[in-house]
Structure 1
Amino acid sequence: MIDKTAKVAVILASHGYFAKEALHSAEMIVGKQDNCAYLAVTEDLNLQQAKEQMEEMFTQLDTSNGTVILCDILGGTPSNVSGTFCLEKENTLVLSGLNLPMLLDLFTNRQRSLAELAESLEKSYEMGFQNISARFKEEEQEENGSGIL
């Protein structure tokens, strides 16, 4: 049974230190997060070592309410390692496209079910992409430069 007050575990996985820095950026906005880890796949880390590091994260995190793994891109080592864990570990959701809007959404909704989070994170991913130039120019024409914020 899922504890509605508990938070899902979060693992961020990326090439280089993007995941680490995304976590720090999100924490600047929403505050320090617990039950989180990151996997930095660097040039000196092979596939087996990456899998071992992620396995260690699973043992250190409280995954009883599920785990969300956000990785940077589909097809790279971080997503390949993460994908194996969605097969091996129950109640694990793996998504690619790690970005700050997704991370903020996740951190403010960690008590939700994995199905609800999947739907919400997909929307926040899509909403994260905006042509700001076009929006400002459109706003300038409509309201004489007041901006969109």
Structure 2
Amino acid sequence: MNHNIVGILIISHEPLGASFLDCIEHILGEQPRMLINHPILPTVDPDAEILKLQTALKQLDQGNGVLILTDLFGATPANIARRLIQHGQVECLAGLNLPMLLRALHYRHKPLPELVDKVLTGGRDSIIHISRT
């Protein structure tokens, strides 16, 4: 049986990804393995970042692929992430929220397509209108 997990790469506006990692460490009590945050600065050269991120993808892929999580669809981090997609091996979801990240960490032993579905569902289902009564 393959015990490898799906690697997770956060590509987001600085300092959002670091804040997510701080929250994860607070909740889980440790920093999970095979999780990399790559902050994007306002002055970034997208082509140079692609080269750096290709190296990060190689570090994260143990054979089960990599899930890229990014913050805002259409913004620079998501546009960079889009260029890294390799269907079936490197997938990307935008709209990152904390429940999505927790779900990704919890289910990353699943095959990448199933993980993508679990993370999407968790992200959508975590948006709740809270009423007083």
TM-score calculated relative to the size of structure 1: 0.80
Corresponding residue number in structure 2 for 1:144: none
Write 1 or 2 for the structure with the bigger share of helix: 1
Corresponding residue number in structure 2 for 1:26: 24
List gaps (5 residues or longer) in structure 1: 139-149
> Any residues of structure 2 matched to 1:86-125 within 5 Å, and which?
86-87=85-86, 91-125=89-123
The alpha carbon displacement at 1:27 in A equals 2.3
Using the alignment, how far apart are the partners of 1:80 and 1:58 within structure 2?
16
The alpha carbon displacement at 1:90 in A equals 5.2
Corresponding residue number in structure 2 for 1:9: 7
CA deviation profile, 1:49-98 (whole Å, cap 9, x unmatched): 221221121232234111000000111111111111114x7511100011
SS at structure 2 position matched to 1:14: strand
Show structure 1 runs of 4+ deviating over 6 A. none
Corresponding residue number in structure 2 for 1:70: 69
List gaps (5 residues or longer) in structure 2: none
How many residue pairs were aligned? 132
Q: Indicate conservation of the 8 Å contact 1:39/1:50, yes or no.
A: no
- The one-letter amino acid of 2:56's match is M
CA deviation profile, 1:88-142 (whole Å, cap 9, x unmatched): x75111000111000011111110111111111111111221122x1xx22xxxx
RMSD: 1.7
SS at structure 2 position matched to 1:10: strand
Q: Per the alignment, do residues 90 and 120 of structure 1 end up closer, same or farther by CA in structure 2, a change over 3 Å counting?
A: closer
Quick one: percent identity of the two aligned structures?
A: 24
Using the alignment, how far apart are the partners of 1:47 and 1:86 within structure 2?
15
Q: Indicate conservation of the 8 Å contact 1:12/1:20, yes or no.
A: no
Using the alignment, how far apart are the partners of 1:32 and 1:64 within structure 2?
21
Larger Rg: 1
Indicate the structure whose relative CO is greater, using CA pairs within 8 Å and at least 6 residues apart.
2
Q: Indicate conservation of the 8 Å contact 1:13/1:69, yes or no.
A: yes
TM-score calculated relative to the size of structure 2: 0.89
